[in-house]
Chain A
Amino acid sequence: MAYSDKLVDHYENPRNVGAMEKGSEDVGTGLVGAPACGDVMKLQIKVTEDGIIEDAKFKTFGCGSAIASSSLVTEWVKGKTLDEAGEIKNTHIADELALPPVKIHCSVLAEDAIKAAITDYKTKRGKKAAE
């Protein structure tokens, strides 16, 4: 199993590591995976009033591919609208990092993390609108 340079770079120099204020209403948080399965991703997005993702942060418990996948998507979602970000597919991630077949599930998890963060943000906004 040889890993691509891009993957190794994201693993060794992960982008956008950190946390945002969970309670803040312009922040959406996605927490996916499970410790018992060996990977957990937390992806957070900060969204502007016009629905653009202006910042993203992540933390991941998992193998190198999981860490790299989540680091990559924080870069990708920045500057995108929520709809655009929602269109990121696991296959794009897997291709970009040249994930070996046994690691495809890491890219799936990263896609799930984006979706979960978007849903969380929308739920919060929906609640606010309803108030």
Chain B
Amino acid sequence: MMNQAIYLDHNATTPVLPQVVEAMGEALAFCGNGSSVHRAGRLANARLENAREQVASLMGARSSDIIFTSGGTEANNLALRGTGRERLVISSVEHDSIWQVSEDALVIPVDNSGIVDLQVLEEALRDVGEQMIVSVMAANNETGVIQPIAKIAEIAKSHGALVHCDAVQALGKVTLNLKAWGVDLASISAHKIGGPQGVGALVRYNGDLQLNPLLRGGGQERGNRAGTENLSGIVGFGIAAEALASNLSQLEEIKALRDGLESRINQLDATVKIFGKGAERLPNTSCFTMPGVLNETQVMAFDLAGIMISAGSACSSGKVQSSHVLKAMGVAKEEAETAIRVSFGRGNTEADVDKFIKTWSGLYGRLNVSEQRAVSAA
């Protein structure tokens, strides 16, 4: 079954690129601690710095401003806790790793299509006063909706706020000019771009910014993040970053797959709701309902058919919880519970879409009818 499996959950994690696996295998066979001064240590350090340059080049940053972390979650935690700015301002659709750090944060709502309300942001910042940091994601992991980061940064800057952007999900799927947009700090993660799990980075575009480290110790990462660097992971991240630069044409193909899927779904049933459809979205992501059918039921059925999708973000395993993202977009709980996320990536084909549609319509026909019967019987 696994051989014919169709993976449509690239926003959860991506298969590791073959060239990344190869480079990591080589790095794993090598022994050296980047902080040691002997030859093995210097060679390890050279590999780290090479990867740092690869990531910096992708992000349009200086290599000295790439702070490697254990992943996107740690990068987000470091960004929000490290600047010393006490007033947090976030959007209502942020990832849990922002949300859970921001107990007293001021939350800016989004409109029905999932975009941050700029007017509310402007007014809120005027009232909050100094010592602010605004954190808004470049694109949402569940809906793919893209935020107007340049405008948000402009507003934030005019009120003296720092700007952090969680670019974990957007990286590689849309053009990012974070530096030009005025972003001070950005979080990225390797396993969303064909790199390995367990490595990410905080990119510091604002070179004046001194960070208070989350992890204290040996002073690695210029004192911003202690701990022996994850050498093989970072090497893999570097290769994945380099590979991204050359796959823009793939995005067009992926967008065509996604758009094709959505129009076919809508042809099957015009009442299916596609979230964020009116907004600018990542080309690979689609989040839509199957009216009357719980998403738990859907993912199970798709899994049995060998199609891997998700009912939202992949973070809190086992927890069945309705999405705070859809709720923030004004979607009723009952409707949100019928939404699934399909996210395309490298290797997906037209045939995958065909199979998905076939499974979807089969399931919908069967369940929708039986549930309607159940309703009328009651």
Whether the complex brings A and B within 8 Å at their CB atoms is answered: yes
In angstroms, Cα B37 to Cα A1, docked, is: 8
User: Which 3 pairs of residues, A with B, have the shortest CB-CB distance?
Assistant: A1-B37, A1-B42, A2-B42
Contact with A along B222-259 (1 / 0, CB 8 A): 00000000000000000000000000000000000000
Min CB–CB distance B156 → chain A (angstroms): 39
A-B contact pairs, 3 of them (CB 8 A): A1-B37, A1-B42, A2-B42
In angstroms, Cα B42 to Cα A2, docked, is: 9
Q: Which residues of A contact B (CB under 8 A)?
A: 1-2
In the complex, chain B residues whose CB is within 8 Å of the CB of A1: 37, 42
- Considering only residues 160-193 of chain B, those with a C-beta below 8 Å from chain A are none
Min CB–CB distance A27 → chain B (angstroms): 38
Min CB–CB distance B286 → chain A (angstroms): 52
Consensus secondary structure, chain A interface: loop
- Considering only residues 32-76 of chain B, those with a C-beta below 8 Å from chain A are 37, 42
In the complex, chain A residues whose CB is within 8 Å of the CB of B37: 1
Min CB–CB distance B163 → chain A (angstroms): 35
Min CB–CB distance A100 → chain B (angstroms): 11
In angstroms, Cα B46 to Cα A2, docked, is: 12
In angstroms, Cα B42 to Cα A1, docked, is: 8
Min CB–CB distance B293 → chain A (angstroms): 64
Closest partner residue, chain A, to B45 (CB atom): A1
In angstroms, Cα B43 to Cα A2, docked, is: 11
Min CB–CB distance B365 → chain A (angstroms): 69
Closest partner residue, chain B, to A2 (CB atom): B42
In angstroms, Cα B45 to Cα A1, docked, is: 10
Min CB–CB distance A66 → chain B (angstroms): 16
In angstroms, Cα B38 to Cα A2, docked, is: 11
In angstroms, Cα B45 to Cα A2, docked, is: 12
Closest partner residue, chain A, to B42 (CB atom): A1
In the complex, chain A residues whose CB is within 8 Å of the CB of B42: 1-2
In angstroms, Cα B42 to Cα A74, docked, is: 32
In angstroms, Cα B39 to Cα A1, docked, is: 10
Min CB–CB distance B37 → chain A (angstroms): 7
In angstroms, Cα B37 to Cα A47, docked, is: 41
In the complex, chain B residues whose CB is within 8 Å of the CB of A2: 42
Contact with A along B305-320 (1 / 0, CB 8 A): 0000000000000000
In angstroms, Cα B42 to Cα A124, docked, is: 48
In angstroms, Cα B37 to Cα A2, docked, is: 10
In angstroms, Cα B182 to Cα A41, docked, is: 54
Min CB–CB distance B44 → chain A (angstroms): 14
In angstroms, Cα B213 to Cα A111, docked, is: 41
In angstroms, Cα B35 to Cα A1, docked, is: 12
In angstroms, Cα B201 to Cα A36, docked, is: 41
In angstroms, Cα B42 to Cα A36, docked, is: 27
Min CB–CB distance A63 → chain B (angstroms): 11
In angstroms, Cα B41 to Cα A2, docked, is: 12
- Considering only residues 177-223 of chain B, those with a C-beta below 8 Å from chain A are none
